[in-house]
Chain A
Amino acid sequence: MKKISLNALGALFAKIASTMKLYAPIEKAGQVDFYEWNESEKVRLDVLKTVKSAKDVFFPQVEDLLKFRVEGKSIEMNEAPKCEDDFVVFGVRGCDARSFELLDRVFLVDPRDEFYAARRAHGIIVTLACGAPEESCFCTNFGIDPANPGGDASAWIVGEELYIEPHTERGAALIADLEDADASSVEAAKKEISAIAERLPFANLDLTGFDGEHLMEKFDDPAWERLSKACLGCGTCTFVCPTCQCYDIRDFDTGHGVTRYRCWDSCMYSDFTLMAAENSRHTQLQRFRQRFMHKLVYFPSNNDGLYSCVGCGRCVAKCPQNLNIVKVIKALGGKKA
């Protein structure tokens, strides 16, 4: 265990950033998201949840894949460069840290996504324990411990100090110069976090019946009508979600060529699953159902029972009309045919 005073963090960040890119929760125009760090940025480790999750760092909202350039009769094709240098993501919460493992199950299986894979191979993750979980948090339902968030190293804020415990060699190398510390105050902080986690309003959700066996029963449940009624089909829930993984690939006409890029897509949108004939999901009910069935039924039935939700509660806090996965779990869960 190492420690550093919160006041000295800027120096640690500057040191890391002198050799590689560093991403951290940074405030811009009043909102906090993961951005690349430099001295002039305002880091907000006190903010529990960034608006968008940390997934952005590995799977950005928009990225170029390929450029075509047309000159006369020739077409030149250039693949976008892949990440080649190590970088650090600092201050990732336990829920977001777990989400990377879930994304791996999509992007690192055959056919492997090389853009994502390169970033994963080079990313060093420093997590941060959650001093004050919020009412929307329900990570513990998925076996995530907000007091022990994992990654290459984990950090805890106790008073004016930041304690860091490395878990891997790459994590240890980052903080090798810091002063050694006694772990007892961290142990006390962990106990406090666990005590709050137990009192969270959504701490004990009943997930029985969310599995492949009950697929049709869940799919046909009449409750979807009511649950999806107010849905705007906006996509806020999918874009703030650390485990939503769908994307679209589009071409941008540059005038003398094409830039092929990928961007996040949302199953909540009317042109998602648009095929030559039509969109197979005609109504918002069907789109809404897709999002939650994917997370709670389809994904676990293909991935050893792992749910594609880490309980970060962003959809709970951010849906403009207060629809969310907790509501779905409560309405459909706990039932066994």
Chain B
Amino acid sequence: MGNQTYLLETNGLTKTYKGAKVVNGLSLQLEEGEIYGFLGPNGAGKTTTIRMLLGLIKPAKGRVTVFGKDLSKERITILKQIGSLVESPSYYPHLTGKDNLETLRKILQVPKSRIAEVLEMVRLTKMADRKVKEYSLGMKQRLGLAASLLGSPKLLILDEPTNGLDPAGMIYIRELIKQLPVKYGMTVLLSSHLLSEIDQVATKVGIIAKGEMIFQDQIDVLREKASRKLHVQMNDWETGQKVLSRHGIETARHDNWLTMPNQPDGKIAEIVKELVYSGLDIYRVSEEIASLEDIFLNLTKGEETL
């Protein structure tokens, strides 16, 4: 909708299971070249949304537009340029890693050499000729990632891709994902329940809780949202509190610290001046910045209490 064309866009996407709206009026916009972090606690509706984006399930309401085309009408054309990894990895345990990719390659019609390439990208070359039932969970996950990359898609949709990976594997995959837009011009939608994962790769974030999008913007905007606080330590907090409340600033006390919402620079200077004029000794002035994790927790917790 609108003038701007997004690579992927949903409008009022809704999915109902047994009367409960598991995904509710979700509008999601993804621009080309972005790495979109789709963030939400377990059960928030990430996988359900992704299944709808891929046409695996049908929305109760709402529309999905990918590459400017309606998913419900041109699913196959759209899928040609999408690579995906949904929830747990998919695999054929009795086949080797290479043959697993071959079953997909035959349909995607990409050159045979592409199999070796994607295996190399996820560092599975050594395991290529082993049956997948011998793989560890992390290896299966990486094979799933290789499968999603096989068709050199324009859009990559990854649902919790670092599940089951060891720390080294996570770092490697994160770096790999970061490079995809730069090196191959791919756009990535990446879901996770961990902010730290998204924080390190995403350029844009969408936060979903209880099926609803509660935040969607550039990751910097999320950081801005960090609710800062100002702490001032002094010798006589009772006087200090009176002085400040005359200036319309409500404070909370902890020992001889007074805590107040963050203020602009000029206002801080004024506050300190007032306190000093009132004969108080100021020991420390400090600012507290909430971590992104705190913001995320606050945002999603707020949802839950609603």
Q: Does B associate with A?
A: no
Question: Which A residues form the contact surface with B (CB < 8 A)?
Answer: none
